[in-house]
Amino acid sequence: MKQEQLNAIKKRLAKTSVGPWFVVEEEFVQNVSSVIGVIHLSKDAHFIAHAHKDVPALIEEIERLKRENEGLVIDRECAISNITNEFLNEEQRLRKALEEIMEDQAPIMEGWETTTYEIARKALGGEAHE
């Protein structure tokens, strides 16, 4: 639900007569001072009478869930950022290890590359040790 919709509901709620609302003789909804409405079906009268308390409770729950959801989104973004940084650090560590292998296994002359050297070179994207 968009915030504009929630705000519209809050405005309508603020304009209602003071509660609590209750049902009298199964067809009248009234507050402490006057009859609010005459209802022909008692199940509707009870629904309307309870709406004065139910709607604010639902609004409060929606707003709580929205705040909780925003916190989860922020937590998720932080977790993704941390994982990304960990991967980048690991990539740098592995790249350095491969470069050290290439240094250690550098061919004595062209065409004498060791298997280890070739694996390291391919892992580094074909970048040859100079």
Please tell me the predicted confidence (pLDDT) of residue 46.
84
What is the DSSP secondary-structure string of 53-79? HHHHHHHHHHHHHHHHHHHHHHHHHHH
pTM of the model: 0.54
**Domain ranges, ordered by start, for the chain:** 3-91
Q: What is the pLDDT of residues 13-68, one digit of tens each?
A: 888 888 788 888 777 777 777 887 788 777 788 888 888 899 999 999 999 999 89
Give 10-60 as a DSSP string.
HHHHHTSPPS--EEETTTEEE-SSSEEEE-SSHHHHHHHHHHHHHHHHHHH
With cut-offs at 50, 70 and 90, classify the pLDDT of residue 5: very high
